[in-house]
């Protein structure tokens, strides 16, 4: 789960990582009020789950009171990287003397967490890594050391990152807090870019990015509340709430598949047979009737869909249960579109029998099912 900048900054603040004061606003009027209480100049920043907001016009530093409203209005009207801007963070603007880069992330190959630093922050770190990799500093840290980072380790790294001794001491302090925050929230990434030196010579996190491990969220009910379901596609939202993984695509073949791997393979097969999937959908394990019904409903709302392809491998999921789900879904949703089903695995015979009893044909192999779906008006 990716956090918004303002959410990450709230966590930073509670862990002792310095951030400029800020207030979130959903309207230009609220932004004006926020700027009044914070004092000018302010930075107005789009809160969207994508980077490069600065380049996209999603960040404005404003010194004049009269400009706050119009600038906020402008940013609130933007769509950045496919994300509509619904709120802005208004922060006290930092007078930036120097921009550094500092992050903490998981290096799966090293099986460790690693601090990445660069004395040239602000810009995309990937670009520096490509053009002058020698400028990228790294420091591997064992996971068990994170919550109580050894001072010496932080000091050594910070001294390489900052030529100024005071800055280095502050950076080391920030690293210790980052380690604790990372460990205690089960994060997979904390990135500060830029970590700025301000005009008083102090370090402050001007930007904040955090990604939390979805698989550990059950341990953090408080953080789960930070999830903002601002998906622009309401069907994606409905299906997600139902525990399905649904992503709308451009094609004409609606897909109901269990397992992300099989769903990917199904997309590939459709393409290979000359068709185009209308969606990616993983109904997950134990796909009972309710999930299948939610899936059908989401797919049927898309007028582009000409045929529905169900591809189920029954492992834990029982084919007869899925078949029952399909029949219920058809019953409740007035499907007039052709439905092609391929069921295999646990209770396959029972599943097939149920479908056949209702006059639905089921294919024996995935190829057969995909070929038939493409044939029935699913070609790209
Ligand atoms: P990003 O483009 O999504 O990474 O958003 P950032 O928060 O990193 O902002 C982009 C750039 O805007 C930064 O690298 C800064 O140069 C500038 N910026 C953001 N906030 C401030 C601020 O408070 N003061 C000043 N002077 N510049 C800022
Ligand atoms: Mn940034």
Q: Which of the listed residues 101, 207, 209, 210 should we mutate to test ligand 1's pocket, taking the one with most ligand atoms within 8 A of CB?
A: 207
What is the mean predicted confidence (pLDDT) over 235-259?
Answer: 84
Give the residue, by CA position, lying nearest to ligand 1 atom 11.
Answer: 54
More confidently predicted of 360 and 117: 117
pLDDT mean over 283-293: 74
Residue 230 confidence (pLDDT) above 60: no
pLDDT of residue 378 exceeding 70: no
pLDDT band with cut points at 50, 70 and 90 for residue 287: low
* 128 Cβ inside 6 Å of ligand 1: no
Best substitution site from 59, 94, 96, 118 to test ligand 1's pocket, by max atoms within 8 Å of Cβ? 59
Could you tell me the distance, in angstroms and rounded to a whole number, from the CA of residue 52 to the centre of ligand 2?
7
Distance CA 212, CA 134 (A): 29
Spatial distance between the Cα atoms of 339 and 361, rounded to a whole number of angstroms: 8
335 against 117, higher pLDDT = 117
Query: If you compute the radius of gyration of the chain from its CA atoms, what whole number of angstroms results?
Result: 26
Q: Indicate the CATH number for domain 98-224.
A: 3.30.470.20
| pLDDT: which is higher, 215 or 154 | 154
Once rounded to an integer, what is the mean pLDDT over residues 45-68? 95
Which three-class secondary structure state does DSSP give residue 191?
A: strand
- Would the pLDDT of 362 be above 80? yes
Q: How confident is the model at residue 288 (pLDDT cuts 50, 70, 90)?
A: low
Task: Please tell me the least confidently modeled range out of 111-120, 211-220, 277-286.
Answer: 277-286
Superfamily of chain region 232-378: Succinyl-CoA synthetase domains (3.40.50.261)
d(CA 202, CA 140): 26
- Residues 106-110 have a mean pLDDT of 91
Are the beta carbons of 310 and 330 closer than 8 angstroms? no
Residues with Cβ within 8 Å of 240's Cβ and at least 6 positions away in sequence, in order, are 229, 231, 246
51 lines ligand 1 (CB under 6 A): yes
Q: Which atom of ligand 1 is nearest to the CA of 42?
A: 23
21-92 against 232-378: fold identical: no
User: For position 224, what pLDDT does the model report?
Assistant: 83
Task: Tell me which of 14-18, 65-69, 100-104, 292-296 is least confident.
Answer: 292-296
> How does residue 297 score in pLDDT terms, banded at 50, 70 and 90?
confident
pLDDT band at 134 (very low <50, low <70, confident <90, very high): very high
18 C-beta closer than 6 A to ligand 1: no
Report whether residue 96 contacts ligand 1, using a CB cutoff of 6 Å.
yes
Q: Is 122 left (phi over 0), alpha (psi -120 to 50) or beta?
A: left
Q: What percent of the chain has pLDDT over 90?
A: 68
Reported as a single tens digit per residue, the pLDDT across 80-95 is: 887 889 999 999 999 9
Ligand 1 binding pocket mutation candidate from 78, 96, 193 (most atoms within 8 A of CB):
96
Residues 321-332 have a mean pLDDT of: 86
Where are the chain's structural domains? 21-92, 98-224, 232-378
Q: What is the pLDDT of residue 227?
A: 80
Mean per-residue pLDDT of the chain: 91
pLDDT confidence of 335, banded at 50, 70, 90?
confident
| 21-92 CATH pick, 1.10.357.10, 3.30.565.10, 3.30.2350.10, 3.30.1490.20 | 3.30.1490.20
Of ligand 1's atoms, which has the minimum distance to the CA of residue 207?
7
210 within ligand 1 shell (Cβ under 6 A): no
Rounded-to-5 percentages of helix, strand, coil across the chain: 40, 25, 30
Closest C-alpha to ligand 1, atom 10: 54
Which are the catalytic amino acids? 101, 191
């Amino acid at each position: 789960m990716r956090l918004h900048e303002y959410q990450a900054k709230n966590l930073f603040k509670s862990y002792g990582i310095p951030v400029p004061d800020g207030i979130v606003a959903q309207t230009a009027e609220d932004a004006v009020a926020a700027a009044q209480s914070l004092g000018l100049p302010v930075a107005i920043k789009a809160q969207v789950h994508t980077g490069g907001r600065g380049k996209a016009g999603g960040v404005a530093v404003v010194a004049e009171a009269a400009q706050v409203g119009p600038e906020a209005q402008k940013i609130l009207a933007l769509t950045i990287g496919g994300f509509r801007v619904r709120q802005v963070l208004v922060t006290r603007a930092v007078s930036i003397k120097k921009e550094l880069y500092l992050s903490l992330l998981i290096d799966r190959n090293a099986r460790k967490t690693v601090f990445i630093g660069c004395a040239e922050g602000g810009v995309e770190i990937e670009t520096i890594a490509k053009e002058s990799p020698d400028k990228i500093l790294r420091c591997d840290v064992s996971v068990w050391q994170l919550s109580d980072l050894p001072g010496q380790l932080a000091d050594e790294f910070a001294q390489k990152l900052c030529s100024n001794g005071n800055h280095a001491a502050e950076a080391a302090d920030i690293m210790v807090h980052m380690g604790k925050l990372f460990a205690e929230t089960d994060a997979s990434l904390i990135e500060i870019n830029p970590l700025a030196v301000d005009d008083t010579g102090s370090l402050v996190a001007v930007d904040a990015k955090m990604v939390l491990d979805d698989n550990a969220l059950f341990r953090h009910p408080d953080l789960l509340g930070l999830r903002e379901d601002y998906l622009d596609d309401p069907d994606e939202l409905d299906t997600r709430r139902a525990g399905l993984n649904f992503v709308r695509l451009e094609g004409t073949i609606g897909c109901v598949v269990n397992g992300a791997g099989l769903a990917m393979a199904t997309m590939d097969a459709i393409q290979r047979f000359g068709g185009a999937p209308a969606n990616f959908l993983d109904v997950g394990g134990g796909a009972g009737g309710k999930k299948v019904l939610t899936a059908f409903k989401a797919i049927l709302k898309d007028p582009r869909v000409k045929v529905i392809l169900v591809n189920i491998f029954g492992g834990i999921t029982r084919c007869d249960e899925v078949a029952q789900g399909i029949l219920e879904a058809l019953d409740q949703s007035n499907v007039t579109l052709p439905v092609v089903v391929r069921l295999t695995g646990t209770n396959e015979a029972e599943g097939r029998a149920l479908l056949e009893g209702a006059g639905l044909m089921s294919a024996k192999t995935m190829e057969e099912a995909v070929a038939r779906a493409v044939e029935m008006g699913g070609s790209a």
